[in-house]
Amino acid sequence: MSESHHPLTTQGLEVRLQQPGPIPLNADFCCAPGELLALVGPSGGGKTTLLRAIAGLYRPSGGHIRCAGETWFDAAGGICLPPQRRRIGLVFQDYALFPHLTAQANVMAAMNHVPRAERAPRAARWLAQVRLEGLEGRYPAALSGGQRQRVAVARALAREPRVLLLDEPFSAVDQVTRRRLQRELAQLREMIDIPILLVTHDLEEAAALADRLCVLHSGDTLQSGPAETLFRRPVSPLVARLLDKHNVFSGRAMRDDSGDVYLQWGPYRLDAALPASVESRAEVDWYIPPSDVVLHRRQRPSRGERENPVCGTVSEMVVLGGIAQITLTFAHTRDSLRFEIATHAARRNGLARGEEVSVSLLASGIHIM
């Protein structure tokens, strides 16, 4: 699905690229100044290719790229600026630092636009900004993974770019360093007012850092929006699968004679809001977030039991610390329902493989695709 409007085409980054092959692309997204847009999707989904196309390192066969009011690429107009003329800050996945240059000289290398005498002090300031005071004279080989990443970020920013491109910038460091660097990126954002594009396959990272996510698959931008929207309202089963969301089912949208709408799912009649565009008796895919599945207590009836109750068999129970992930299967479908509850609650309710349980599917959570 493409975005319906591009609100900030003059200031931000606007990307529209199409090509049939060799790497298929059908991308359409924009990123406003100060916004952090995460491109997520599986490996080989075209994320890095898109980033390279924006940087001018890859030339697609169709479309255009505009940034800060300049046209960087326009296939129809025959425009394709080289990377040197695009003012981009690119942090490579493995940082691509110049191994024969010190941290400071690495940063200075991106300062062609700065008078020669000012380069050294400015580079030192950039390094201080990413907390590398005192390490200006170190060569990349003598820096830790996290420090290298910071040098790469400082070098990208020293170019005073119109857009910051981050290609899996946290994938080459350990978990603890990753958390710290992610926090630093969030802080760094306060200072810079340019579009930031983050390529990642880590959904948690994308959700935590980005204002919006853009789901890519085979070069196709399937859906973009805030993480919460994407996670609760994926537009298609494919997007749900790419976002690691499991509870996708097929049912039938129904309108009865009195005008009531509901969703027929096997033997169950589920209350749900139907989009106006869906015709009665139409076959639909629907999704429910795990957070909107409520377990019925065994002994005591609880509130909400009247809301879309369904009955299933526990086919899997995986305990991950304090959280238990429950998978239910049903007699009428091969699709299974997953949800999470506190492990102690699972124990108290006597949940175990093969047990019959009933749950409520909250109507507000049911999303018809």
Q: Which of the ranges 84-92, 143-151, 215-223, 291-299 carries the binding residues for other proteins, by CB under 8 A?
A: 84-92
**72: which residues sit within 8 A by CB, 6+ positions away?**
54, 56, 65, 66, 79, 80, 81, 86
Q: Which of 37, 39, 55, 185 binds other proteins (CB under 8 A)?
A: 55
Distance, in Å, from the CA atom of 365 to the CA atom of 369, rounded to the nearest integer, reads 12
Distance, in Å, from the CA atom of 29 to the CA atom of 79, rounded to the nearest integer, reads 20
Closer of 47 and 212 to other proteins (Cβ): 47
Q: Using the rule CB under 8 A, is 280 a contact of other proteins?
A: no
Closer of 55 and 324 to other proteins (Cβ): 55
CB of 43 to other proteins, least distance (A): 17
| 75 membership: H or E segment, kind and range | none
Q: Using the rule CB under 8 A, is 59 a contact of other proteins?
A: no
Closer of 54 and 235 to other proteins (Cβ): 54
DSSP code per residue over 104-153: HHHHHTT-TTS-HHHHHHHHHHHHHHTT-TT-TT--GGGS-HHHHHHHHH
Q: Which of the ranges 88-96, 241-249, 285-293, 359-367 carries the binding residues for other proteins, by CB under 8 A?
A: 88-96
Closer of 141 and 320 to other proteins (Cβ): 141
Q: Using the rule CB under 8 A, is 88 a contact of other proteins?
A: yes
Is residue 197 within 8 Å of 54, Cβ to Cβ? yes
Is residue 335 within 8 Å of 287, Cβ to Cβ? no
CB of 132 to other proteins, least distance (A): 18
CB of 161 to other proteins, least distance (A): 9
x-or-dash string of contact with other proteins, 156-185, rule CB under 8 A: x--x--------------------------
CB of 46 to other proteins, least distance (A): 18
Distance, in Å, from the CA atom of 47 to the CA atom of 168, rounded to the nearest integer, reads 10
Is residue 293 within 8 Å of 359, Cβ to Cβ? yes
Closer of 48 and 247 to other proteins (Cβ): 48
CB of 110 to other proteins, least distance (A): 4
Distance, in Å, from the CA atom of 156 to the CA atom of 95, rounded to the nearest integer, reads 10
CB of 91 to other proteins, least distance (A): 9
Distance, in Å, from the CA atom of 307 to the CA atom of 289, rounded to the nearest integer, reads 16
Q: Which of 59, 69, 79, 100 binds other proteins (CB under 8 A)?
A: 100
CB of 148 to other proteins, least distance (A): 12
Q: Using the rule CB under 8 A, is 332 a contact of other proteins?
A: no
Q: What are phi and psi of 268, to 5 degrees?
A: -95, 140
Q: Using the rule CB under 8 A, is 195 a contact of other proteins?
A: no
Q: Is 49 helix (H, G, I), strand (E, B) or coil?
A: helix
Sign of CA dihedral 41, 362, 258, 282: positive
Q: Which of 32, 87, 77 is nearest to 55 (CA)?
A: 87
**Beta strands of 256-305 (E only): which ranges?**
261-265, 268-270, 283-287, 293-295
Q: Which of the ranges 20-28, 65-73, 153-161, 211-219 carries the binding residues for other proteins, by CB under 8 A?
A: 153-161
Closer of 164 and 270 to other proteins (Cβ): 164
Q: Which of 29, 92, 262, 330 binds other proteins (CB under 8 A)?
A: 92
Q: Which of 105, 208, 314, 363 binds other proteins (CB under 8 A)?
A: 105
Name residues contacting other proteins, limited to 218-247 (CB under 8 A): none
Q: b vs e for 162-185, b when ≥16 Cβ sit within 10 Å of the residue's Cβ?
A: bbbbbbbbbebbeeebbeebbebb
Which residues of this chain interact with other proteins, rule CB under 8 A?
Answer: 55-57, 82-84, 87-90, 92, 94, 96-102, 105, 108-110, 112-113, 139, 155-156, 159
